[in-house]
Amino acid sequence: MNEKNILPREEVAAQEVYTLRLRQENDAYATETGRRRKAFVLTFGCQQNEADSEKLAGMSLSMGYVLTQTPDDADLILVNTCAIREHAEQKALSIIGQYKHLKAKNPSLLIGVCGCMVTQEHRKDDIKHRYPYVDFVFGTSSLHRLPQLICQKIEHGKRVFCPEESEYLVAEGLPIHSESSYRAWVSIMYGCNNFCSYCIVPYVRGRERSREMGEIVREVSELVNNGYRDITLLGQNVNSYGKDSGYPYDFADLLCELDKIEGDFLLRFMTSHPKDASRKLIDVMAASKHVAHQFHLPMQSGSDPILRAMNRHYDTTKYLDTVNYMREKMPDVTLTSDIIVGFPGESEEDFEATLAMLERVRFDMLYSFIYSPRKGTPAAEKEDQIPPAVKSARFERLLATQNAIALEKNQPLVQKTLRVLCDGVSKNNPALYAGRTEGNKIAFFEGTPDDTGKYVDFLVERADAFALYGKKI
């Protein structure tokens, strides 16, 4: 076994001392007051952050807190931040700003800020100077240190700014608390080696490191045994799984192994980088029993010069080749993508090449983003930045093009019966229940509380660009 990227077990175990100390403290408080201290975890950003927050929640429970859905009556607030775009950072900072009055009301409230945003030194400084009521700050390499940081703050009274580890290592064995009893995230690797020229992730998540296959198989088997139905494997570039640690297996091998687990469940994964989305992986998916025929393959741009400037290491020909092979092997595959508009130097011609690729590939759904310069990345230093008005206008055109395509992709599903995993009453549409198809499309129907967490057979009666509407049969 190669343990190169794994945090020594003793380091995780060392946190147990702090966990126990806090647990006793919190138990004593509960006995004395008849009230348990409450922890509130707020998450920004991607599924990787959601998965990390499940560990923050798990650790909080182990320390003797109960979880609450609102910051108002919390004794511990943890804000897990994202740095991918300026907007994500501003939203987090604004919410942290609002917690000032909570601290004024309850001086014993503890506020911790963690995650990608505060893994950047300049943002750590912002918190230090502009948000003096934040008690402790820790980056993505120190997630497992939460119990220690709380103890330090309580015992010494001083604010704690946890230095980043020089190496980002995988901490196995942290407790996980999931809100859902049927959908789960499983991180299979952390970090990124790709340094796309616009992206902050490699700077705030460190280099790639993969978990050992045995650990992942054990975790997924346990989830399936506990009734989980939909499991998403997470990593910034799952297709390089295993390479960093020199494991003798790759991502396709891992999927093959997980596919052997018995039970009624679907496996998904994200994200795949087009430069290494292999035919072997597509073959494994096509032949599998449990892997959903759904592929998220971020294209970013449909212009070859822009792809080069983005440091993506593929061109549109290679991208189309992968898509064609995938559709040949899995004609029913749902294909989604990410696009950035307004990358520095993007000309009208480059942008039109992206629109032309959308028409050619015909994605089921697109996550589109306006380019946001990230401090410390090469693209942010470029002089040919695109004016905001041009970026917004292109963004609108992109949406209009994609909405028409998505509608055309969804229409043929009308009158088809699909299997849908029900998520309960829809948040946006409380008169209806919502669920997800195998292709991860949203389905709305009239359901009952009993349907939540179960598969239902769903007859599609109507489709728009964003969702399917129909009935349970």
Chain residues binding ligand F3S by CB under 6 A are 45-46, 48-49, 82-84, 116, 200-201, 204-205
**Mode of pairing for the β-strands spanning 136-138 and 455-463:** unpaired
Q: How many residues does the chain have?
A: 473
Upper half-sphere CA count for residue 25 (Cβ side, 13 Å): 15
Cα 113 from chain centroid (whole Å): 18
Specify the residue, 63 or 84, whose C-beta has the smaller distance to ligand F3S.
Answer: 84
Distance in Å, CB of 121 to ligand F3S, minimum:
15
300 touching ligand SAH, by CB under 6 A:
yes
Distance in Å, CB of 270 to ligand SAH, minimum:
8
444 touching ligand SAH, by CB under 6 A:
no
Q: How many angstroms separate the CA atoms of 123 and 134, rounded?
A: 13
Distance in Å, CB of 308 to ligand SAH, minimum:
16
Specify the residue, 205 or 293, whose C-beta has the smaller distance to ligand F3S.
Answer: 205
Interacting stretch for ligand SF4, rule CB under 6 A, among 70-78, 194-202, 289-297, 414-422?
194-202
Element (H or E) spanning 223, and its range?
Answer: helix 213-225
88 touching ligand SAH, by CB under 6 A:
no
Residue given tokens 């959908």 in the structure block: 183
Which of 359, 282, 390, 266 is closest to 326 using CA atoms?
282
Q: From the list ligand F3S, ligand SF4, ligand SAH, none, which binds 195 (C-beta under 5 to 8 Å, kind-based)?
A: ligand SF4
What does the block give as tokens for 120?
A: 């950047």
Residue given tokens 């990345």 in the structure block: 377
Applying the rule CB under 6 A, the residues between 227 and 246 that interact with ligand SF4 are 236-237
49 touching ligand SAH, by CB under 6 A:
no
Site string for ligand SF4, 262-281 (x = CB under 6 A): -----------x--------
User: Which listed residue (138, 369, 445, 458) binds ligand SAH by CB under 6 A?
Assistant: 369
Q: How many residues bind ligand SF4 (CB under 6 A)?
A: 10
199 touching ligand SF4, by CB under 6 A:
yes
> Which strands form 294-296's sheet, in the order they lie side by side?
294-296, 334-341, 365-370
Upper half-sphere CA count for residue 231 (Cβ side, 13 Å): 28
Q: What is the DSSP string of 439-455?
A: T--EEEE---GGGTTSE
What does the block give as tokens for 72?
A: 């108002």
8 Å CB contact between 243 and 273: no
Q: How many angstroms separate the CA atoms of 136 and 156, rounded?
A: 12
Distance in Å, CB of 120 to ligand F3S, minimum:
10
Interacting stretch for ligand SF4, rule CB under 6 A, among 97-105, 196-204, 258-266, 427-435?
196-204
What does the block give as tokens for 329?
A: 């092997």
Cα 469 from chain centroid (whole Å): 27
Interacting stretch for ligand SAH, rule CB under 6 A, among 16-24, 154-162, 349-357, 368-376?
368-376
82 touching ligand SAH, by CB under 6 A:
no
Q: Which residues bind ligand SAH (CB under 6 A)?
A: 84-85, 198-199, 201, 236-237, 271, 273, 298, 300, 338, 340, 369, 371-372, 374
